[in-house]
Amino acid sequence: MMNKMRGKGCCRRHGQKNCKTLLEVCPGERCRIRRHFAKGAVRQRFLDLGFVPNAEVEVIRLATLGDPIEIRVTNYYVTLRKAEAAQIEVQAV
């Protein structure tokens, strides 16, 4: 499932090399949200949590097995599963 989401509409196809999914961001890196690949209730949840276009986020740490991922959005912390993080396209700051 994640491989489908990772390649779907990714901006690498359009020549922008500094784009990737939130899943591919290393701990300590900061980036900006570009868009979501999610639909329906999941997309609305992302928006409610502050994952809106141009919002700056930072990956804080990964769990031992890499799932979930802790992310700082503005002034609070959110944990996302790998499958959710793969649905958010980001751009390096």
- CA–CA distance from 16 to each of 11, 23, 45, 92 (Å)? 6, 18, 27, 11
Question: 2-92 in CATH: which number?
Answer: 2.30.30.90
- Res 16: pLDDT: 57
- Res 84: pLDDT: 92
Mean pLDDT by groups of 10 residues along the chain of 93 residues = 42 60 91 92 92 93 89 92 92 89
Q: What pTM was computed for the model?
A: 0.76
- Res 29: pLDDT: 92
